[in-house]
Amino acid sequence: MRDDFEAPQPSSAVRGRKAWSVEVDAEVSAALRALAARPWLLPGRDDEAIAAIRRNLDAVRDALNRLGWVLVVERDLIRLRKSSPVRREAWAATAPPSATCTWFFLLVAAAEAMAPRVALASLVTAARAAAAEAGLPVMHDIAERRAIAAALRMLDERGVIEQVDGDVDGFVADEQARVLLGVHHTRLLHVIANFAEGDPADDPAGWLARVEREPDPARRMRRRLVDDTVVYAADLDVAEADWLSRRVRGDDGAPLAAAFGLHVERRTEGAAFVVPTDAFRYPRELGPLPFPTPGTVGHAALLLCDAAAVDGDRDPAVPGWRAVSEETVISRLTEWGQLFGAGRGGWAGEDVDNPTGLAGKVRDLLTGLGLLRVDDPTPDAEGGLTARSWWFSPALGRWASLAAPPRRTQPAAPLNQTLVFDEPISQTPEH
């Protein structure tokens, strides 16, 4: 199905050309990027973004409609109802704990029947009654209170249940903490954005599959490219690969990227919609996992990526990916930790002291970004288990590196060149 997409016009043009500004496109792009990074916009906190979206509502909705995402524009709320995350495991790895998620929905259920101003203790009592109704245990212990407090903070970030007076954190130590909450019933209506037939508690996997189902391959591709960092051609089915080969830089992908002010990076191994450097001010506008970034974990990840680019093992079955054993990763992190030192001017002391922990942080960062895949150990011929391998993405080649392998137009590195990893590499890089 061909799904032509016109570049979004200025809202004024749609409404009859009342006024036009050369900066409208940039304003629409900035508004869309703000929504993608922060789907709940609230008065008093996001006034500037709200005003920009209201000024360009038609253009913003045009772009979001291409993704099948609903934009809720209320008097005191703008909320983008997105589809479920494109890589379930990657997003779930950084999601709140199960207990917090459970209490999040219990508080939502309880808040429906609450007055607009309610004491925290009353809301929690109602939530516990809702837990009993749902057949969930209520423990009254500190772990439960922590989960409730975390869920309340999540609701507060969304502006659904706001902390008016007192401190929710005080609830952890005292269930009768004097905290006044404000319940926004109209916002409560928009908490649950996606729901499918069936009971998610009985069959969560099946329910998730139904919620995530999107029959249109073009829309699937658009969502992946807008929501995620990189889309790899090897992961796509036939219809998706066809869209990637013909339309990512053509009539569909490029206009969508332009609407968001993103740059289409099309490569043999896949494609990415990347944020131009001048299109954001703070790393948080890139999402919860910006990269490359300063700091110990970001620096270690960048060094590992450079090292893998130079010395990673290659497999013809996964062209472009570079593999490094986990032991090598940890040994290199140990070495770099000693090189840079701990404390001021160096790496964080806890990471220098615990390279394995640092490796875990780096793994979480890069897998969350889709730049790393870690193999599970497999049985070897001797009955043991093979070493766990870290497969680094071909997209790492986008960052120029002095230590990176030479480009195809340049002569290959000599074998006796000092390399980051000890294992020998082949002379001609495989792409």
3-state secondary structure 68-126: CCEEEEECCEEEEECCCCCCHHHHHHCCCCHHHHHHHHHHHHHHCCCCCEEEHHHHHHH
Residues 370-409 that bind other proteins (CB under 8 A): 370, 394-402, 405, 407-408
Q: Tell whether residue 91 is a contact of other proteins (CB under 8 A).
A: yes
Residues 295-324 that bind other proteins (CB under 8 A): 295-296, 298-300, 302-303, 306, 309, 320
Instruction: Point out which span in 1-9, 16-24, 89-97, 381-389 binds other proteins (CB under 8 A).
Output: 89-97
Q: Does 412 engage in binding with other proteins (CB under 8 A)?
A: no
Tell which residue, 38, 74, 48, has the closest CA to residue 157: 38
CB contact burial 203-237 (16+ within 10 A = b; e otherwise): eeeebbeebeebeebbbbbbbbbbbbbbbbbeebe
Helix (H) or strand (E) holding 132: helix 120-134
* Closer residue to other proteins in complex, CB, 104/391: 104
Phi, psi for residue 323 in degrees, rounded to 5: -105, 140
Q: Minimum CB separation from other proteins for residue 309, in Å?
A: 8
CA distance linking residue 148 with residue 305, whole number of Å: 39
* 347 touches 368 (CB < 8 A): no
Among 57, 71, 114, 123, binds other proteins (CB under 8 A): 114
State how far the Cα of 128 lies from the Cα of 137, in Å rounded to an integer: 9
Q: Which two tokens stand for residue 281?
A: 């001010």
Q: 32-71 mask for other proteins (x: CB under 8 A)?
A: ----xxxxx-------------------------------
329 binds other proteins (CB under 8 A): no
Task: Decide if residue 236 touches other proteins (CB under 8 A).
Answer: no
Q: Tell me the window of 17-25, 52-60, 188-196, 374-382 that interacts with other proteins (CB under 8 A).
A: 188-196
The residue range among 86-94, 162-170, 326-334, 372-380 that interacts with other proteins, by the rule CB under 8 A, is: 86-94
> Out of 17, 122, 266, 426, which residue is the one contacting other proteins (CB under 8 A)?
266
Instruction: Give CA separation, 360 vs 254, 284, 363, in Å.
Output: 36, 22, 5
Does residue number 7 form part of the binding site for other proteins (CB under 8 A)? no
Check residue 79 for interaction with other proteins (CB under 8 A). yes
Residues 146-185 that bind other proteins (CB under 8 A): 158, 185
- Return the amino acid letter for 204: P
Type of residue numbered 115 = A
Residue 138 lies near other proteins (rule: CB under 8 A) = no
369 binds other proteins (CB under 8 A): yes
Q: Which of 11, 83, 328, 367 binds other proteins (CB under 8 A)?
A: 83
Residue range at the interface with other proteins (CB under 8 A); choices 15-23, 31-39, 44-52, 164-172: 31-39
Stretch that binds other proteins, among 6-14, 54-62, 110-118, 381-389 (CB under 8 A): 110-118
Judged by phi (left if over 0) then psi (alpha if -120 to 50, else beta), residue 392 lies in: beta
Whether the CB-CB separation of 325 and 331 falls below 8 Å is answered with no
Minimum Å gap between C-beta 98 and other proteins is 4
- Interface with other proteins (CB under 8 A), residue from 2, 44, 98, 414: 98
Decide: is 208 part of the binding site for other proteins (CB under 8 A).
yes
CB 219 within 8 A of CB 156: no
